[in-house]
Amino acid sequence: MIFAAMGLCTAAAWHALRTPSQRMIQGSRWWLFVLVPISLLASFAYNNWFLLAAGFRPFDVPSTGMKQTVLSGDRVIADLRQYQKSRPKTRDVVIFNKDGTFFIKRVVAVGGDTIGGKDGAIFVNGQRLTEPYVQHLGNVSLVSNKFSPVEIASGELFVMGDNRDVSRDSRMEDFGLVPEKTVAGQALYIIRSKWGRIGNDLR
């Protein structure tokens, strides 16, 4: 819808500037160069408002912590209403607010679970997780490769990035657990990507 509005405004302005008119002097058409940017801004504002009203919001991803699931520069769409009547589950890819910044991570353990790590493997309630989405690049820090079992309190989440060796997440003391109340929504799809990944399902 955004791109259609942009194309329509641009085509209309170009046509008006190119079409002769006996009712206006040539210089009077320059107002179109003011109208087009205003129209585009209004179109963007309308579409963002429409998405928010429907319970969705786009988020840009600037980091590599979720690679290969989500790449730096991708834009994802999140369902802001997903957790109004339900709670985040393990494997969900969530958007949450921490210290005024939005992060995208995967839920690995929820309240009541016990999670620990050894030699790069993750164990939840004593069972080793199978995580086909995880990437290991090597040069991993000790705290990322191994951490003592942690019991997750009710209302808290243990989150990790899929780019496991470089992600800053709940394994680090300065990051810690994520309160469920700070979760903005569930990431659904990639809606913009310079890597040709538009439409990838994140659920």
* pLDDT value, residue 32: 46
* pLDDT value, residue 120: 85
* pLDDT value, residue 59: 96
pTM: 0.77
Q: Tell me which residues of the chain have a pLDDT lower than 70.
A: 1-50, 142
* pLDDT value, residue 180: 98
In the chain, CATH 2.10.109.10 sits at 56-192
* pLDDT value, residue 142: 65
Mean pLDDT for all residues in the chain: 83
**Cβ atoms of 75 and 61 closer than 8 Å:** yes
Q: What is the pLDDT of residues 128-147, one digit of tens each?
A: 999 999 988 777 776 778 89
How far, in Å, CA of 96 to CA of 104, rounded? Answer: 7
* pLDDT value, residue 30: 57
Q: What is the pLDDT of residues 151-182, one digit of tens each?
A: 999 999 999 999 998 899 999 999 999 999 99
C-alpha triplet 97, 76, 106: angle, nearest 5°: 55
| Spacing of C-alpha 65 from chain mean position | 12
Domain 56-192 bears CATH identifier 2.10.109.10: yes
* pLDDT value, residue 94: 98
How far, in Å, CA of 179 to CA of 198, rounded? Answer: 30
